[in-house]
Structure formats: C-alpha cells, structure tokens
Structure 1
Amino acid sequence: MTAREPDRLARAALTHVVEPGDEHAGRALRRHGAAGFLRLLREGGGEPGPDAFPGTGARRVDGWRRRSRAAVPERDLDLVARLGGRFLVPGDPEWPSQLDDLADARPVGLWVRGPADLRGWALRSVAVVGARACTSYGAHTAATLAAGLAERGWVVTSGAAFGVDGAAHRGALGSGGATVAVLACGVDVPYPPGHAGLLRRIAEQGLVVGELPPGAHPTRGRFVLRNRIIAALTRGTVVVEAEYRSGSLVTARAAARLGRYVMGVPGPVTSGLSAGVHELLRGEATLVTDAAEIVELVGAIGQLAPTRRGPVLPRDLLAPDTARVLEALPGRSPAPLAEIAARAGGHPDHTLAKLYELHSLGFVERRQDAWQLTNTGTEPSNTRHGGT
C-alpha cells in the first residue's frame, strides 16, 4: 500500500459517512486528515464538542459514527474499478484544482467513470443547465449550444436530468464532442432510469462523476448540493430555461459566488420557464444566444463572437453624398432639381450627377423636369449593388 492509499481508503469510507457539502465534515478533515477523522469516528476517540469536533453538534457526530462502522471502502473501490472507474482524492494528478474553491464544502473525493482526464477536461468546461420540464425551444437551444461548444473544443458539463440537461449532453455527443455528467447518486446508479442509455454513452465517450459512493441513491437535498460541483468544475454556467424556484438558479448563483461566469439565454416574457433566467439577466448574468458568445466570455482573450448586423439593404451600399441626395427626395411627389439640391446641401450640377446615378441603380425616376422615388420610396427589386 502506498503512502497515499490510507488517505484514499479513508476518504472512500467517508463518502458513506458525510453528506455532500457538509462544512462541519470539511473542517474535521482539515483538522484531523481523512484517516484521523475516520479513526476518531470508529474508535470513539475524542468527545464530540470543543475537543474533537468544535462547533459540531452531538447528533451530527453520532450519525457520522453510526455510518462509519458500516462503510466498507475496499468493496466500493473494487466495484468502481470493475466498472472501469476510479476514485479521485485531492492531491491526485487528475483532481480538478478548481474544486478547492469550495473550501470546506469541497467534496471528500470523486467517483469517476469514463476514459478522459477530469482535470484536463474541467479546465475547458462550460455548464449548460436548465429546466427538467423544458419547452421544445429550451431543448433545441440547449442541444444547439452544446453542439456549438463541442465543435469549438469545449467540454459540456450538466446534471444528466431530463429536459435541458439531457439535451445538452446529447448535443455534445451528437457533434462528437466531450461531455461530463455530474450525478447526485452513485456513478453505478442510472438516474433518472430513463437516461440509462444516455449515461452509458457518456461513461463510454465522456465522464460520469459523483461524490456519493456506489449504490447511493439521490434525494432532493443531494440534487441541490450536487449543483455546487457543476458550478465549481466549469469556467461558466449557462442557464437555458428556469422558473423562479429552480435548481438551475442554484447552480448559477453558486457559480457567481465562485467567481465563474454566469450566462442566460432569453426566452418569451410570457413563459414561466424563462422567468428565472430573466431574473438572472437583470442581475449577475450575461445574455448569450449562441456558442460563440459563450466562448467570448469563457475563452482566451481575442476569441470574439462575430459582430451582429441586420440585413444589408441596397441603399446601405451607397456612398454618403449619393445617399444624401436620395434622402432629399420627397416621399410621394416629384421635386425639381433645384429643390432637391437645396435639401441635399449640394451644387445643382453635382446633385444632377447623383440623380442620374440613382436612376441607373433603380432608386429614382425622372418625370419631365422633376425627379421622384420609384415605387414611392421602396427599395428597388432588381438593384445592382454599388455606388461611388
């Protein structure tokens, strides 16, 4: 057994003992180390209170002690190894250092299935999260964003739930990209059951990650606490659809506290599934509509999204003085040259030359000694784009 193995075994046992995000346990780990913490629980050494676990109540410590006696970490490590997985602990080369930003709420360790290196992937990862009961708009948007991120070499991280999460994972996989599923249960538990096939694909092509031991089942509280892992593992979190009370907003606010980017995709103002996103956009979130805008925020300096412009109209291509003459023509009735020149602020000869240019492009027509717009000022249908 290597010098690190006692710590690994103790941490594997402690994933049975403490609930995710338990800061009391985090403080005990800092004070005693994993092996020392577990030994205190199993041997009964130290009284719960100011000596062994200062600030931690007796009921919590009693619960830890009962669960510690039932933990068999060797069995868990063997099971996850047979599934092609592993158990990561702080200090491992594959441990994502950004999880350390969670301080005492940092996971005791991570159970991982899949062939990729979690640390490397986490450095270039974006969370795409949202409502379980999403609309078709939300599912389409999540899949499109994930596919665009995957095509740009980014890892898509989500929670494998129905709705937006599942669409994001499928969008990444469908583009041949990388995706990470962070579970609120054991990595051997297909939850939700309807995503068993999806989770199998992710374990084969990506990574399935959880802080609970094999066989552990999810609870409502574990879903909420799982979201801090999604936020910490990634460079930023994108919320596609979310109601006011949504676990996705928990992820977004955890990301904000950790100094990560928070992004939201706008939706119809009449949709309750967009209400939570819009609330984020009024505060800490940045509005994004495609993968390029996400990468502009989370990527390297200079990875700018393309400038958004409306359609280019034929009159947009006119030279400024030519456009000025066009604007000088009245909307409905013909006008003499002198009047047009005065309104355009130019010499009549120069104005006349521009009118002939506009005539050749189909913008104006001549009526005896006057000029007027074609089709009462609408854009010509067969305009040759150009200008001087």
Structure 2
Amino acid sequence: MNGGDDPDTDLLSRVFLTRVIEPGDETGGRWVREWGVAQVARRLRDGGEPLPGVSGTRWAGLVARARRAEPGRDLEVARAAGVRFVGPGDTEWPGQLDDLGDTRPLGLWVRGRPSLRMWAIGSVALVGARACTEYGAHMASTLAAGLAERGWVVVSGGAYGVDGAAHRGALGAGGATVAVLACGVDRPYPRGHTELITRIAEQGLVVGELPPGDHPTPSRFILRNRVIAALTRGTVVVEAAYRSGSLVTARAAQRLGRFTMGVPGPATSGLSAGVHELLRGEAVLVTDAAEVVELVGDMGELAPARRGPVLPRDLLRPAARRVLDALPAGRPVAPGEIARGAQTTRDEALAKLYELRSLGYVERHGDGWKLTRQAMISVPDGRSRC
C-alpha cells in the first residue's frame, strides 16, 4: 500500500485506476509513484487541471473514463466470479513485478486458489507462435511437462499454439501453470480456449491487469508480455517469426535481467527465424527441461552431459587403438607395415594384433593381418571402412 493511505481507500483507488489507466502506462505509473493512488484517483474524478505529462485531449479522455468507473461494482463482479484483486504491498504480491518501475501493474486480478507470490518464485515462461508447427507444439508441451515434473510453474499467455501446448503439457504432468491474459480474467480469451482456461483456473491461476469484462486489444497483448517476463525467472521462446510478440516478451526479460532462452528449429523455417535471431544475441539455446533448470535453478542443478553412444572400440587402450587404426581396409598387411603406421615396434604391434584378434577386430591371413567385418562396419568419425 502507498504510505499513509487507508487500506480500503487504496484498494478502491487501485481498482478504479485499472478501469481508467491502460496497462503499462508509464505516465500513469509516475503519477501513482509521486502522488499515491488515492490522490491520482481524486484528481481524475474531479476532472480539474491535468496532471503533468499529458495533453489536454488525453486528460479529457481519461476523465471521461473515470466518470464511468465503478470500483465497488467491479469488486462485486469479481467476487461473484471467484476473482480477487492483488495490489503492491499485499502479502500475495510478487515483488519481482516491482522491477518494472513506473510500468508496474496497478494491481492484478487473480482467479484460482494458489498464492501468486509463492508460485511466481519458481516459475518459467514458455511462449511462442500462435500458428506454430507440430514440432513447436511438441517441444512446448514436452518442455512444460518436464519443468512441471521438476516442480516449476509454467507461465504463458493462454493463446493458441505454443501457449496452449505449454499449459496443456504442465497440466498433463499434474503440474502448476499460470495464464496471464490481456483481458478481464472472468472472460476467457480466445474463446476456443474457454475449457482450457477454466481448467487452469481450477488447477492453477489465471491473472490479468484488466478489470472484469474488459476486452483484449492488440496493444494490450503486447503490454501483457512485460508482466510474463517480470513474473518469471526466465523466458523460453519455442517458435517465433521475426515480428512475433513472443520476442517482445524475450526482450523485456533481457532488459529486466532475466534469463532468455530459445529452442532451435529448422534453418529454413520462418517460424524459427526470430528464435534464431535471439540465439545469435544473448539468448541461450535449450532443448529440454533439464537445460532450462540449469539456468534458472539453484547452483548445482546441472543438465546431464551430452555425448554419443559408447562403442566397443572406445574401450580399447590407446596402444591397441593405434594398431587397429593403422590397418587399411580390404587387404592383409604385414606386421612391419602396421608397426610403422602405429609408430611402435614390430613385436609390440604383434602383441596388440593378437589382443585385437581375441576381441574380434582382426584376423590373420598368412603372414599378414586384416580387419574383420566387425571392425570395418564403422570408424569413430562414422565413415564406412568397407
């Protein structure tokens, strides 16, 4: 709460301002910081001299909005829909949102039982293209399920495509997920995701800056993304074209000092072009949940080392491997020639050849030695020796 303001007055003033000031309005945020929510609300209700930083026309538009605002009614509608209002200073307020400075939300409308503050502490954003490919949907779902199984909360925007796949992946794994909407949380959007968002509200949280009944607009979607970025420990972009709104989320995360990650796709895919551009900058390439947690998790939570399969010849001692590598494919070779190729003596080469014969790698042909079919199948670089 702002210092000196009565809690009830502060609550009504903040709810009032969510109806009047657009999300992310830096000028409105500065007014609240300098004068407090109650004073700003009074000035807008009175409609007198404009507060600094806006034209007369814009002030008149804000005052017109203020005349239609009914914070008490908004709270009643919210309560009937199982929605609560959480403002800065409340015990449930996620402190990391304060990193947004004057663009910090005036408050958040929250639908669902868990504590937003507690869930936000261990959360990761998964965002991406609405018109994603099957690959993008698969990666989003798999990443979300892996994160949920590790106890992380998956945050996304509730949209079609990657967002929906991320939410479903977390829910399918029995995990936690949060949908941050660009409209009133009592009216699911998009409508095709009504069932999904209802399920998220039952098992997780649905949050937004806009009061009950408010509708989304293109600018509200873009401004919503800063909340996703600030709320979470890091943002993963699964698929995104050059002009994707998901890149707005990623860049907001970078400005806030959060981790930014990208899932690579085909170099020929326009839906991965934006992700690849991020990866050419400060974003980190990730391919599974373990690699995400290695970045956002506690010290020592390392992803397993990646390596190819261990082949039987990898287990040979160096001297034996040098002798094996000295044998050309397709013809028997005398021990002296093998010794020169292996840079060793003839006696040492013979000793290793008998060892290699017992393991099935070479066979004797008169005075010469030849690779067996087993040894000729492949060499370490993957090329055929046949």
- TM-score range for the pair, normalised by the shorter chain length: over 0.9
In structure 2, what is the equivalent of residue 101 of structure 1? 99
| Preserved CA contact (<8 Å) 1:315 1:379 | no
Q: Distance in 1 between matches of 2:360 and 2:80?
A: 75
Give the corresponding residue for 2:239. Answer: 241
**Which residue of structure 2 aligns with residue 56 of structure 1?**
54
What are the equivalent positions in structure 2 for 1:130-141 lying under 5 Å apart?
130-141=128-139
> 273, 280, 283: which is aligned to 1:282?
280
Secondary structure of 1:87's partner?
strand
Deviation at 1:376, TM superposition (A): 8.6
Any residues of structure 2 matched to 1:1-388 within 5 Å, and which?
3-45=6-48, 47-48=49-50, 53-375=51-373, 377-379=375-377
Out of 226-235 and 66-75, give the one that drifted further. Answer: 66-75
The one-letter amino acid of 2:373's match is N
Describe the superposition over 1:218-246 as per-residue Cα deviations: whole angstroms up to 9, x where unpaired.
Answer: 00110000000000001111010011111
| Structure-1 separation of matches of 2:165 and 2:348 | 61
Secondary structure, aligned partner of 2:36: helix
**Offset, 1:135:** 0.5
Q: What is the identity, as a one-letter code, of the residue corresponding to 1:323?
A: R
Question: Aligned residues: percent identity?
Answer: 68
How far apart are residue 63 of structure 1 and its match? 1.5
C-alpha RMSD of the superposition: 1.3
Count of residue pairs brought into register by the alignment: 374
Name the structure 1 match of 2:381: none
How far apart in 2 are the matches of 1:373 and 1:303?
45
User: Could you tell me how far 1:347 is from its partner in structure 2?
Assistant: 2.8
- AA aligned opposite 1:278: H
Deviation for aligned residue 1:84 = 2.2
Q: 1: CA distance between counterparts of 2:43 and 2:258?
A: 37
Q: 1:317: how far off?
A: 1.3
TM-score for both structures, normalised by structure 1: 0.94
Q: Does structure 2 retain, via aligned residues, the 8 Å contact 1:314–1:379?
A: no
List runs of 5+ in structure 1 lacking aligned partners.
Answer: 381-388
Instruction: Say if 1:239 and 1:265, in contact at 8 Å, map to a contact too.
Output: yes
Moved more, 103-112 or 73-82: 73-82
* Aligned mates of 1:254, 1:59 — CA distance in 2: 30
* Mapped partners of 2:368, 2:76: distance in 1: 93
Q: Deviations over 1:56-109 (max 9, x none)?
A: 222222121111121111111122222222100000011011111110000010
| 1:148 partner amino acid | G
In the TM superposition, residue 329 of structure 1 has moved relative to its aligned partner by 1.1
**Aligned partner of 1:163: which letter?**
G
Shift >3 Å, 4+ stretches: none
Give the alignment's TM-score, normalised by structure 2: 0.94
What does residue 385 of structure 1 align with? none
